[in-house]
Amino acid sequence: MKIVRALFVAGYSSFYFDDQQAIKNGAGHDGFNYTGAPVTPGFRAVRQAGECVSVLLQLENGAMAVGDCAAVQYSGAGGRDPLFLGEQFVPFLEQHIKPLLEGRDVSTFLGNARYFDNLQVEGKRLHTAIRYGLTQALLDATALATNRIKAEVICDEYKLPVVAEPIPLFGQSGDDRYMAVDKMIIKGVDVLPHGLINNVEEKLGFKGEKLQAYVKWLADRVKQLAPDASYRPALHIDVYGTIGLIFDNDPVRVAQYIAGLEDFADGLELYIEGPVDMGEKQAQIACLGKITAELTRMGSPVKIVADEWCNTYEDIVDFTDAKCCHMVQIKTPDLGGIHNIVDSVLYCNQRGMEAYQGGTCNETDVSARTCVHLAVAARPMRMLIKPGMGFDEGLNIVYNEMHRTIAQLKAKGSAK
């Protein structure tokens, strides 16, 4: 089965692009907007509309495969590719990628995915957002061409067992870190709340006191609203390197503070994502390793999640091999081709590293649904609820797609 026509359509993603460095520097709020000037190259404002490009592949049988090129909310930060603006990239796709797609056979997925993931145009690899969307569309094309669902294609080509069971889901609150938590508890989300602790003065506190109070509130709220006593969600909070800011990136002081958060969690499992941001990869690995070692020495059960500077498959290998943390976030757009997500989850699973298949609120319904199939096939420890930063939208998309997929896998298994 071949592609007969490729189309590229610019659109909006589900959230916004935010200049992370400007926010860390103290950008103010004005309603939903941030005030002040951007500092990261490519941004025209601290917050601006998120954008995407849909890749549409028409097959010989008339079916239309779809994938969405999308980038993370904090583009251009932590070693990531620069801002992805749809209208700027459509002409590039028309000129350089369309001729390579039309006439291409899509009876298998991995060969096509690896080709485009490694492709260079004028000496440069494609933007991660382009590789992400192209490979989504190619996976969909293979599924449509071979009458399988996308999770089956991944299992078949990676020779993985088909496990028709759900993956634990992780809700993200955005700045609505109180009301969104109530929604998560009512709907029984497995892991919560993300929290968006990206500013010292407003959210962490100069002595970390605001995060301590928030963790206590989370534990108390779970008790108050839990549908039954068996509901004990894990707490997973992203702090965007702010803990390091108040303790001068001293790994011992950072670890002591993080260990102390256990006192406020009331026995709920606690993960702290991105406690420091050291500005480059090797320094990040070294500092996280010292924090993790100190937590181990103290006997603390609190776990560290790597985020900044852990963007590619190669990065995930390096962080995992260094054993510098307890969990690695596999940030879906940042890895480019979606096969890298599967490779990363499998690498972590085989080496005892907890794998969190993450991503960004700034994805789309199409990319989020594709990620469900990757997770069902590769089996990470948890998967981010996305897109959007309002929780409900993402839960509707991801939860329902996951359970539809599982139902189909069970039906196909029983028919064999």
pLDDT in tens, 49-67: 999 999 999 999 999 999 9
258, 245, 387: which is closest to 308 by C-alpha? 245
Tokens of 82: 């620069």
pLDDT at 415 over 80: no
CA distances from 85 to 12, 262, 311, 370 (A): 10, 42, 20, 22
SS3 9: strand
Q: Residue 16: is its pLDDT beyond 90?
A: yes
Please answer whether residues 361 and 387 qualify as being in contact, where contact means their C-beta atoms are separated by less than 8 angstroms: yes
Residues 6 or more apart whose Cβ sits within 8 Å of residue 166:
376, 402, 403, 406
Segment 278-298, tens digit of pLDDT: 999 999 999 999 999 999 999
Q: CA-to-CA distance for 191 and 238, rounded, in angstroms?
A: 12
pLDDT per residue over 323-348, tens digit each? 999 999 999 999 999 999 999 999 99
Average pLDDT over residues 148-176: 96
CB 312 within 8 A of CB 337: no
pLDDT at 413: 80
32-41, 222-231, 385-394 — which is least confidently predicted?
Answer: 385-394
Residues 6 or more apart from 259 whose CB is under 8 A from it?
295, 298, 300, 302
**99-128: pLDDT as tens digits:** 999 999 999 999 999 999 999 999 999 999
Confidence (pTM): 0.94
Least confident span in 87-91, 255-259, 319-323, 336-340:
87-91
The answer to whether the beta carbons of residues 275 and 291 sit under 8 Å apart is yes
Amino acid 400: pLDDT: 97
- Looking at residues 380-386, what average pLDDT do you find? 97
- Work out the burial of residue 159: count CB atoms within 10 Å of its CB; fewer than 13 is exposed, 13-18 middle, 19 or more buried: exposed
In the predicted structure, residue 416 carries a pLDDT above the cut 70: no
pLDDT at 258 over 80: yes
User: How high is the pLDDT of residue 205?
Assistant: 98
Confidence of residue 316 (pLDDT cuts 50, 70, 90): very high
Q: Which residue has the higher pLDDT, 23 or 238?
A: 238
Q: What is the mean pLDDT of residues 257-286?
A: 97
Confidence band (pLDDT; 50, 70, 90) for 412?
confident
Average pLDDT, the chain: 95
Tens digits of per-residue pLDDT, 174-211?
889 999 999 999 999 999 999 999 899 999 999 999 99
pLDDT at 78 over 80: no
Judge whether 203 and 173 are in contact, CB under 8 Å: no
* Residue 87: how many other CB atoms lie within 10 Å: 9
| Confidence category of residue 402, pLDDT binned at 50, 70, 90 | very high
| pLDDT interval class at 87 (50, 70, 90) | confident
For the segment 395-408, the average pLDDT, to the nearest whole number, is: 97
The C-alpha atoms of residue 335 and residue 331 are separated, in whole angstroms, by 7
In sign, the C-alpha dihedral spanning 395, 159, 129, 58 is: negative
Q: How far apart are CA 117 and CA 136, in angstroms?
A: 12
Q: Write down the pLDDT at residue 390.
A: 72
CB 379 within 8 A of CB 163: yes
Directed axis angle between helix 339-350 and helix 365-378, to 10°?
30
Please count the other Cβ atoms lying within 10 Å of the Cβ belonging to residue 292: 23
Rounded Cα gap, residues 370 and 223, in angstroms: 34
Which residues are catalytically annotated?
A: 331
pLDDT of residue 77: 78
Pick from 136, 21, 9, 137: nearest CA to 75:
21
